[in-house]
Amino acid sequence: MKNLVTSSSPAGLADTALTASAPIVWGTTFVVTTELLPPGHPLFAGLLRALPAGLIALAITRTLPRGVWWPRAAALGVLNIGALFPLLFVAAERLPGGVAAPLSAAQPLIVAVLAVAVLRQPPSARSFVWGIAGVVGVGLVVVGPDAGFDAVGVLAGLGGAGSMALGVTLTKRWGRPDGVGPTAFAGWQLAAGGLFLVPVTFLFEGAPPAVDASAVLGYLWLGLVGGLLSYVLWVRGVTTLPVTSVAVLVLLSPIVAALLGALLLGQSLGPVQLVGFALALAAIAAGQIAPKPSGS
């Protein structure tokens, strides 16, 4: 039987905790969107989450891509942000009862496949087993009795999970260019994803909505914390930690969203949801345990 090791050093635990803070913050998006933002403009919210944050990061670092990193940054920005937001929006619109969440939670499974195909890592049965456990756990937490399966919605949900999974995998393969820190690297992607969202947003949503004080607070939270800070920590973690360990951390988003729904919106959590929480958290913890390299 293979020995298993974890990043038990203080530095390793700190890297994992910092990276996990990104999907935890992203889990607040649903509450912020429904309680603070104008209804019917999720793409506009995504645009304000990405583009200003990217421009701020570029202004702070004063670092632009060079050479091959122009198309790479554009590709990562579209995969991780620009294409992801519209696909998740379509899935949320067409799939009732939170069915979109377990589809998004399939990302660790997709990353496990891409790690073999793209990164040439040996197949890991553990990654697939715990990836399936994570999907089941999230499903138990969020899928209600009125769940329905619309073909377009399912394809959009899987497409969003696949888009970000490929973005994470390519980020791991390409790494960061020498001398470029996480803030600049995240800024490239946020700006590219935001620019991609500009025509998409105005095509599907038209003119921006009227904005009141609550909406300003919501957009500031999504842009500065959910955008700039979270993506800096996320890309840092993707380039530092094992790709499958990072991917499973995205399960924290639907868990946090469900907890906030219970705490702030009065949504109930029964025994089935609690079992789902336990299973999803077990999958996240297990995902941080990497097989010990053979011969060590």
Mean pLDDT of all residues belonging to the chain? 85
- Residue 207 is assigned to a structural domain of this protein: yes
* More reliable by pLDDT, 30 or 291: 30
Looking at mean pLDDT, say which of 1-15, 34-48, 125-139, 172-186 comes out highest: 172-186
Q: What does the pLDDT read at residue 126? A: 84
- Residue 203 is assigned to a structural domain of this protein: yes
Q: Say how far apart CA 245 and CA 121 lie, in whole Å.
A: 14
Q: What does the pLDDT read at residue 261? A: 79
Task: Indicate the number of domains in the chain.
Answer: 1
H/E run at residue 22: helix 10-26
Q: What is the pTM of this model?
A: 0.87
pLDDT tens digits, 232-266: 999 999 999 998 889 999 999 888 888 887 888 77
pLDDT tens digits, 176-202: 999 999 999 999 999 999 999 999 999
Using CB atoms within 10 Å of the CB of residue 41, give its burial: 0 to 12 exposed, 13 to 18 middle, 19+ buried: buried
- Residue 89 is assigned to a structural domain of this protein: yes
Q: Say how far apart CA 113 and CA 161 lie, in whole Å.
A: 13
Q: Which of 110, 135, 262, 238 is nearest to 186 (CA)?
A: 238
Q: Which of 221, 246, 215 is nearest to 25 (CA)?
A: 221
- Residue 296 is assigned to a structural domain of this protein: no
HSE-CB for 200 with a 13 A CA cutoff: 21
Looking at mean pLDDT, say which of 39-48, 54-63, 134-143, 145-154 comes out highest: 54-63
- Residue 164 is assigned to a structural domain of this protein: yes
Per the structure, the complete domain to which residue 68 belongs is given by 4-291
- Residue 125 is assigned to a structural domain of this protein: yes
Q: What does the pLDDT read at residue 12? A: 76
Q: What does the pLDDT read at residue 290? A: 61
Instruction: Give percent of the chain above pLDDT 70.
Output: 88
